Amino acid sequence: MSNQQVTGFLSLHVKKATVSIAAIILAACGGGGGNTAVPPVTVDPGSGWVAGQYEDWRLNSMRNICANPRTTGGYSDTQGSVTDENFWIRSYSNDTYLWYSELPDIDPGTVNSNQDYFDLMVTDGLSPTGNAKDQFHYNQDTEAYNQSYLGVSAGYGVRFFVISSSPPRKIIVGYNEPNSPASENGLSRGAEIISIDGEAIENSNNVDALNAGLFPETLGEAHTFVVRDLNAAEDRTFTMSSAEITSVPVKNVATFDVAGTKVGYLTFNAHIKPAETQLIDAISQLKASNVEELVLDMRYNGGGYLTIAAELGYMVAGPLTEGLIFDELTFNDKYTERDPINNNILEPSRFESTAAGFDALTNPTPTGTALPSLGFTRVFVLSSGGTASASEALINGLRGVDVEVILVGGATRGKPYGWYALDNCGTTYSTIQFKGSNEKGFGDYSDGFFPVVSGDLSGAEVTGCLVDDDLSHALGDASEGRLAAALGFIETGACPSDSASAFGLTDKSSTDAPHPLSAVSGKLIQPDLGTVVVR
C-alpha cells in the first residue's frame, strides 16, 4: 500500500471520540481534525522536544519504535513508547503534509495517545468558500486497512443510507453485497430498519445499542433486526450475524435500448484492487454488445487507487487519451522534483492502456494486459456527495482531454487530494500530501463538481441534471430515478422536467403520488468498527 498513490475512500462517519473522514470509507458529514486543544496530560516531560527541530522520519531511530511492537508478520518494530510514535507522526507530518507550514508544533510528550496527536497534525485553514481545507485526515489499523483495499471487511455486507441520524431517525438499506448475511436475509435496497435488539431506530435513547447493532465490532456477533421491506405491508424479524465480507465493487452490468441507441450501464462502488479485473470484464462485455453510450453509476464510489481510475479513463475514451495526462500531482514545496515517499522523479500520471496487475484475492489480471476501450467522447456519471477522490479524478481527467462528462444526480464530494498511505507500528496514516490536476491544469474542485443545465460552464460546473437519490428501485433498474434521467437525457438531449417519467417509465397522466423513497436526501455509510451513526 505505501508505494501506491491513493486518494482514499470517502468516509462521512463519526468515530468514537473523534470526528474523522476515513478509508473505505455517517450521522454527520464531518471533517477530520482542526487544531483542537491539547489534552492536559503530561506523558513524558523530558521527551527531548525542541520547537522547530525535526528528525528524519525515515531513520531507523524514528520509524517503528513502538509502544506495542508487533512480534509477527515480519515487521521491524522495536520497543518504544507512545512519545516515540508521536515524534514519528510529528516528523512525517512536517515533512510530507501538503500544508505543513500550517501545522502546530506540539511536544510529543504532552499527548498520551497517537490518535489524539495525529488528529492535531492537521491544518485548521479554510477553503475559499469557508469549508475546512482538510476534511480527509485519518488513520486506521494497518491490517484492516490492507484488507479493505482487497474488498474484505467485517460486518453484514450492507450499506445503510441515513436520511436522518437524530430523532425521528430514518435508516434505509442502500445496497447489499452478494453472498453476505444481508443478502442471505433478503436485506435489500429500500428496506427500512425499524429496530435493533428491541431498540427503535426512530426514537430510542439507547444510541450505543443502535450503533453496536448497525456496526458489529467482532465476527459472529448476532443482532436481531426488525425491518420493513420495500413496499411490504408488514414488518419482519430476523437475527443476523456479522461475518467476513468480500465486496464486489463492479455490479449490475447491463444494456438498455433507448430510441434505437444501445446504452451500457454498470455500478462502480470502489477503486479497490478487485475492481481492476471486474472493470475489464464489464467493459469487455459492453464492448461486445456494441454499446454506443455509457452510464457509470459512481454515486457511492468514495475513491481508492488512482491507477484504476486512469485505467477506466482509457477504457472509456480509448486511444484519444494515449500519452495524455490523467492526473498531475503537486506536493508541498519541499518536493518539487521527487515524491516524498519513494523518491521517484515526479512525472504526471497518464491514462493507462495496460493493466497494472493489482494483487486481488481472486482472478487478478496479469500486469501489462492490454485494456479494452470503448472509444467514447461522452460518458454519463451518476453522482452524489459520496462520489469522491479517485472518482472525481476520473471526471476531471476525462474532462481534461475533452471527453464530455454529463453528471446526473448531485454535486460530488470535492476531494482533489490524495496521499501515500504509510504504516508505522501497526497503524496506517493517511495525511494529505498532494493535489491533482488534469491535462489542462485544472484541479480546483475542492467543493465538488456541480451538475448544471446551463451550457455556460465555469470552474467545477459540469453539464448535467440535479436528481435526488431513488431508494424505491434497485440500482441498475431503468426505472430508478437517476438512471432514468440519464437514459432520458440520451433520448431527448436534455434533463427531464420529471425524472420519474423520463424514458417513458411511468404514465405521465397518472395522479398517483410518488413513492416516498423515490427522491430522498441523505448519506450512504460504510460500516466500520467504532462507527457512530445514530444520536
Q: Average of pLDDT values for 211-220?
A: 91
Q: Average of pLDDT values for 71-95?
A: 96
Grid coordinates given for 487: 437514459
Strand partners for 422: 429
Q: For residue 338, what are the contacts with CB-CB under 8 A and spacing of at least 6?
A: 344, 345, 346
**66 touches 75 (CB < 8 A):** no
Residue 1 has what pLDDT?
39
Peptide bond into 168 cis (omega under 30): yes
**Which string of b and e fits 122-134 if b means at least 16 CB within 10 Å?**
bbeeeeeeeebbb
**What's the whole-number average pLDDT of the chain?**
88
Distance, CA of 126 to CA of 141 (rounded, Å): 29
Q: Which of 337, 351, 331 is nearest to 396 (CA)?
A: 351
User: Could you read off the pLDDT of 239-255 as tens digits, one per residue?
Assistant: 999 999 999 999 999 99
Q: Which amino acid is at 511?
A: T
∠ at Cα 183 (178, 187), nearest 5°? 140
Name which of 105-109, 327-331, 429-433, 503-507 the model is least confident about: 503-507
Distance, CA of 413 to CA of 407 (rounded, Å): 13
For the cut 80, the answer to whether the pLDDT of residue 22 exceeds it is no
Q: How many CA atoms lie within 13 Å of 319's alpha carbon, on the beta-carbon side?
A: 0
Residue 149 has what pLDDT?
79
3-state secondary structure of 78: strand
Distance, CA of 399 to CA of 381 (rounded, Å): 12
- Which pTM was predicted? 0.85
DSSP states along 394-431: HHHHHHHTT-EEEEEES------EEEE-EEETTEEEE-
Residue 497 pLDDT grade (very low, low, confident, very high; cuts 50, 70, 90): confident
User: Could you read off the pLDDT of 33-42 as tens digits, one per residue?
Assistant: 344 444 444 4
Give me the helix-helix angle, 306-317 and 390-400, nearest 10°: 40
Q: Which of 256, 501, 157 is nearest to 266 (CA)?
A: 256
CA 44, 47, 50, 54: dihedral to nearest 10 degrees?
A: -120
Distance, CA of 297 to CA of 124 (rounded, Å): 34
Grid coordinates given for 424: 508505522
Grid coordinates given for 461: 460546473
Q: Which domains does the chain have, with CATH numbers?
A: 153-246 (2.30.42.10), 250-332+346-416+435-504 (3.90.226.10)
* Strand-by-strand arrangement of the 417-420 sheet: 5-6, 417-420, 434-437, 325-330, 349-350
